[in-house]
Amino acid sequence: MANAETALKEATTIIDGAVGAALVDYTSGMALGTIGGGKELDLNVAAAGNTDVVRAKVRTMEHLGLKDEIEDILITLGTQYHLIRLLKGRGNNGLFLYLALDKDRANLAMARHQLKKIEAELEL
């Protein structure tokens, strides 16, 4: 089992094309941990902004009466993929992993698979 710091480090080292990663509490919009990013990708700003994305999707699903769970949300930009993976399991309600990927270096299918594996090993 990995803690948050180990999980984020693993996400940015084993996932090809990873630019940065964050563990985010979407009830508050706060990043509980970040790694990578830089001046062109402020992960704290990304955490707060992507919290709004998650909240909007959860609200929309409620309005539609969908009785399902979000696995992940993909945002495709010109040069990057942004992947939001909501955490499931005991004590993980209200948390998501956020991963930014360089589109030219990333394999999206593998990134999703590896992020799911990291989630499964994460213990908070």
Q: Residue 39 maps to which CATH number?
A: 3.30.450.30
Q: How many domains does the chain have?
A: 1
Please, which pLDDT band fits residue 40 given cuts at 50, 70 and 90?
confident
Q: Residue 110 is inside which H or E element, if any? A: helix 108-121
Beta-strand (E) ranges in 15-121?
A: 18-25, 30-36, 72-76, 80-86, 95-102
Average pLDDT score over residue span 70-85: 96
Domain residues for the domain of 46 are 4-121
Q: What is the pTM of this model?
A: 0.92
Joined together, the tokens standing for residue 16 give 């090809």
The rounded mean pLDDT for the chain is 92
Average pLDDT score over residue span 18-31: 94
